Structure 1
């Protein structure tokens, strides 16, 4: 039986624009209820910033939550993703880990600026990372984890370094080269196409459509392609890396993670929240609308709230670069997104539905139509070339072809 002491931890934060890591508070999780208290010394620090703008504002007192089993969204966003949890369970030989166990056993290169521990003294910033040159070893260990084979002991500690907590179940690791830190996304069992080429192509295509997309590059390791996506929550400086606060749209929306409850999985509700959260809402609202359109045009049905995020390099929050852009070919002629995209057809990926609430994104009908028209033309003309330029083959193009140029974006569907 775990004690309440076992279910608590200190929370540390690397201050914005600084290498200084300070203790900011303490988190206790007990009987499905989470409690967090900012430390007095942190509240007195003129450089202190909130962990989360509305659920954990910077003030004294005890904050409580019963959401997500009693963990605050900003803390859950720092916890490992599905792949990271799988790796940690394998390393510890346990499947009964609590959320605090995952927080305490995950690496310090987690997403965002938070760290966790059992001592009031914060850890020093991490300076050592796996190198891109070691990708072949990391790829082999990822294969062993995925296939539930015995691990090569010398690599286990390195593999428990699974990268951003805002991804999913795909095998990954954080690696470093002369340019900075990257999330290396390895091939997975069951891939029907070259994921590095296709996802890399979509990030490239998104950038060509004018979106703020994560920087990526492809590398070839042990006969396989690996996609490297640059960490946008880190900034390389002399002496290490600045860490930027980061929260998922799941936290911003105060939504449930379970796909069976999508009541708050909504681009429209997220647009409303951006007006409260970000420093430049007009810019970020246009960006969010454009991402919604792009996901519709490439049949990305993995656009759930954990695949959108806000980032804060300083005191102000903004929409993070776009990431995890993956097309999924559909047999049905109808296309649906993971999040609600309009008021007329809910999650349907059609011009009519995307246009129905464009005003909530502070866009006129003319501006919204123009965005859709421009992006539709670029995606239709360039998706093949973008994938090929990232190493895709004709077989890869054939495998994903049904994700593109779907019906529903003609003006006739809007009644225009």
Structure 2
């Protein structure tokens, strides 16, 4: 009798081990291959029998993404709902039956469906399958401050653009607003309504995350990098003096200050400090010619240019800042390939993402150290146990602490007495 019981128990144990090993194989080693086949209809349907993890604010009370349960032919399915509609829409992304996924819903899909390779998650989901219990994904907690995000989105209104707010000491994303935005709930069954959204730009492209993927000429915001290079190389100080006749001469032509081209602003004798405070093009044109384009670009790379912003969203939803030529990133081999005077005040072929310029400002505020931006605070299992938490990390030191201190004072002057006053 004992021998029979032992055989049955051994057989049952072997079956259990086989089930766990098989499930682990498909969830861990084969998961990436399956995930790439987004046209796999069976897999797509099966994922909606899983109760996806929620996406919540940092405190856990605010819900950005949840589920609605539906019975179809006797089987239970879970479909996404987004209580805050258009708030943080492009970063969150959507998960639908017909149009697959975007944003964090795509890049964190394994976590949200419980298919990630964390051992505790694998064991939990394997046992849930064995017991016939609905598999529940892990919950994602984002760093975004609801009030800051709401203020940023409202400030943009129907204007096309983006607002990015970073915590300088950590790189934590406090706001990432893109406009125009759209109601994420429309992605399932009402996609044409998203296409009909209008804004003051063409195309309106509400699906695009303008904070991380859209490229814009930086204009005078690039002067911060030029000033950083000027100070950090030791060739200039905040008190270095310039004479401004309203223009500088480059390649035999006048590069004029802002204002009426026929009578541009003239400041006469002024310092570098005052040049940034009043955003004087001729001052930065002269610095650019003196330092050369490659020095300016080398300093831009220290702040993160020429690399994708290292955020948790999909790579195709992020763009690298830098010089572009014929639609491609371009780093010159020789200074003669770039106009250094115009580059120094944000013209030439320089285009940037809003998150990149936020990284520049945050790096200056953080005593010259650029932190890696992140929007995912932590991921937890349904029972609250921790799966992973983001720890702040450095991208690198862009400038010396003294350079950052001098530049901070200059940037403050821009908004208290210069061109940045509200």
TM-score range (shorter-chain normalised) is under 0.3
Higher relative contact order (CA 8 A, sep 6+): 2
Given the two structures, how large is their TM-score scaled by the length of structure 2? 0.24
User: What TM-score, normalized by structure 1, do the two folds share?
Assistant: 0.24
